[in-house]
A and B are shown apart, each in its own frame.
Chain A
Amino acid sequence: MKTQSFVIKNKVGLHARPAAVLVQAANKFKSEIKLEKDGNEVSAKSILGVLSLGAEKGTVVVVTANGVDEEEALKTIEELVNNNFGDPE
């Protein structure tokens, strides 16, 4: 099991499009992937779960991946966060 925390940097936070990008990426991995914010834990493969976190710009999200490809999964998510999920800002 691997855990890493991230700060959401894009302007509007994990809204519909970035959340969709994240879920689509998470779905490619076999590992179970969870996101946690302020004690709420959701599956990264559920867009409703991700949206319900209400993760706005500047919030810290803890990502836990558990499974055969956990390392790859975390790396991919790190890249998405760093590239603002493809948002221009």
Chain B
Amino acid sequence: MNTMNGVGVSKGIAIGAARVYYKEKIEVNSGKDSVSPQDKEAILEESLKKTKEEIESNYESLKKTNQQEAEIFEAHLLILEDPTLQEKIKENIKSGYNLAYAVKSAFDGFVETLKNLQSDYMKERAQDLLDILDSLLRNILNKPKVDLSKLPANSILVAEDLTPSDTATLDRKNVLGFITEKGGPTSHTAILAEALGIPAVVGVKALLENVDNGDEIILDGTQGGVYINADDDIKGRYEHLKKEIEENDRLLREKAKEFSYTKSGKRIEVVANIGSPKDVDNALEMGAEGVGLYRTEFLFLDRDTPPTEDEQFEAYKVVAERFKPYPIIIRTLDIGGDKQISYLNLEHELNPFLGVRAIRLCLKETELFKTQLRAILKASAYGNILIMYPMIAIKEEIIEANKVINEVREELRSKNVTFDENIKVGIMVEIPSAALNAEELVDYVDFFSIGTNDLTQYTFASDRTNENLSYLYRPLDSPVLKLIKLTVDASHMKGKWTGVCGELAGDPEAIPILVNLGVDELSMSPSKIPEAKRIIRTL
């Protein structure tokens, strides 16, 4: 038996047979030759085309399940077609070098530059470049790649290093895990492994000297351990552990579909934060009992004109229908300040976090606000929709916003458009003045939802995006907890409820504290829901 250690970059346990992957190094000599520049450029053209197709196929195979990771290959395409790089290659061709060297030396210049950058993250990008270079050289020299998509079942892939394109072509059914000698936790390969849910350990020194094809491997992606031909004792332990993890996962998921009650019998609603209709599948899968925060900003960003009422209506309606009869809370536009939109022509502000943002902006730009409210009200006929205003500081803002809603209601009634006449309206409590005055504000709303991220930053007067002030980000310190308590108590006094939709809501350490303070609803990223429900059941 042989035990080795590396860095676990994708958690989970895999037990299988080693498939050692030797990547043949491509040797390129720096000689000149007599092939004409035209012929070289023709071969280059053809090879670029093939390489482009390979990258596109990696992109396509990942896109369906892992859009964000697939974008790595979009960047690869841009690199392959980079004008500066192409120019350099052509220069080298003109100087008479053989084509492979002309290409390699052009890449090498950029690889060196990237390797000399300060941040580790940027340095890792040199690996992306080498990946593309390798594919391109193989096409120029007609050297086929080992096909990693056809490995036998129960394989543990063992390699010196894996490139992002290697990782993307792996057959996810047959490859149970992988181990590499090189690589770090910020490499694209490590990121891909985690996204694909394949256990992986990287940076295992002298790995290839110690593993042969067919060796039985136990790979612990959580601890970073690798066991080669382990004795029965260790194997038994890991088989047991693996079963336990799988069983836990299954139970957690299964239980996540059920409501969660504390030991004293209080139901805590566990709902999802979503940013677009694309997030609905995952939220339902994870056991969300509704949406506690539907951010509507995605509709407004990255475009030249505001979204139309119909566009918005569709985006709200589809989510309401999918979750019916569960509630979905739509937060009205939270933009302005640090998030600029060109078509709104917002004024430049010295203190954007304290400036004209969210409800403050909507009350100034009433047409924008009305269009959104019309779309929300119309969609309310198709499910259980609640409206929530962000960044409320004083009661007059609620009164003012409700006035706008009432105008829209009148307008819809006069046109005989159906909508939920009893639609509930609440506010985000994220400014200390709102929490301190919750007792008065509660009379103007149906519910409160506490945004802990902003509440913390405004309580400590500390910009939460400023790394130098991270020591002041203290959402669980008594000043913030006192404000949460004031809000919860004020709502309960009037038979109303309070939720939490900031990051704290999904934090295992914070959940017992929030429940203890009397919070009725927790809204979080979908992936955190199963564990949150488990914790609630122990309280």
B34 to chain A, nearest CB (A): 30
Is residue A52 within 8 Å, beta carbon to beta carbon, of the partner chain?
yes
Q: Which residue of B lies closest to A89 (CB)?
A: B465
Contact with B along A10-47 (1 / 0, CB 8 A): 00110111011001100000000000000000110111
| A30 CA to B75 CA, complexed, in Å | 21
Is residue B315 within 8 Å, beta carbon to beta carbon, of the partner chain?
no
A75 to chain B, nearest CB (A): 6
Partner-binding segment picked from B120-128, B423-431, B435-443, B505-513 = B120-128
Contact B121 A47 (CB under 8 A): no
Is residue A54 within 8 Å, beta carbon to beta carbon, of the partner chain?
yes
Is residue A86 within 8 Å, beta carbon to beta carbon, of the partner chain?
yes
Which of the residues A49, A75, A89 comes within 8 Å of B84, measured between beta carbons? A49
Q: A12-B121, A16-B128, A54-B117 are in contact. Are A48 and B84 (CB under 8 A)?
A: yes
B13 to chain A, nearest CB (A): 30
Is residue A83 within 8 Å, beta carbon to beta carbon, of the partner chain?
yes
| A45 CA to B119 CA, complexed, in Å | 23
Contact B78 A43 (CB under 8 A): no
Is residue B205 within 8 Å, beta carbon to beta carbon, of the partner chain?
no
B16 to chain A, nearest CB (A): 32
Which of the residues B74, B113, B340, B465 comes within 8 Å of A52, measured between beta carbons? B113
| A6 CA to B216 CA, complexed, in Å | 54
Contact B78 A79 (CB under 8 A): no
| A48 CA to B128 CA, complexed, in Å | 11
Chain B residues contacting A79 (CB-CB under 8 Å) are 340-342
Contact with B along A45-89 (1 / 0, CB 8 A): 111110110101100000000000000000100010011001001
Q: Which residue of B lies closest to A53 (CB)?
A: B117
Q: Which residue of B lies closest to A14 (CB)?
A: B122
Interface size in chain A (residues, C-beta < 8 A): 28
Which of the residues A15, A42, A49 comes within 8 Å of B122, measured between beta carbons? A15
A6 to chain B, nearest CB (A): 12
Chain B residues contacting A45 (CB-CB under 8 Å) are 83
Chain B residues contacting A57 (CB-CB under 8 Å) are 467
Q: Which residue of A lies closest to B467 (CB)?
A: A57
Contact B82 A46 (CB under 8 A): yes
| A75 CA to B345 CA, complexed, in Å | 12
Q: A45-B83, A46-B84, A83-B339 are in contact. Are A13 and B119 (CB under 8 A)?
A: yes
Is residue B228 within 8 Å, beta carbon to beta carbon, of the partner chain?
no
| A13 CA to B72 CA, complexed, in Å | 16
Q: What are 14 sample pairs from A and B whose C-beta atoms fall under 8 A apart?
A: A12-B121, A15-B121, A15-B122, A15-B125, A20-B78, A46-B82, A48-B84, A48-B110, A49-B82, A51-B122, A54-B122, A56-B119, A56-B122, A89-B465
Q: For the complex of A and B, list the 3 residue pairs with the smallest distance between their C-beta atoms, beginning with the closest.
A: A54-B117, A46-B84, A20-B75
Given contacts A20-B78, A82-B338, 8 further A-B pairs with CB under 8 A are A12-B121, A15-B121, A17-B71, A20-B74, A20-B75, A43-B83, A47-B82, A57-B467
Residues on A lying within 8 angstroms of B by beta carbon are: 9, 12-13, 15-17, 19-20, 23-24, 42-43, 45-49, 51-52, 54, 56-57, 75, 79, 82-83, 86, 89
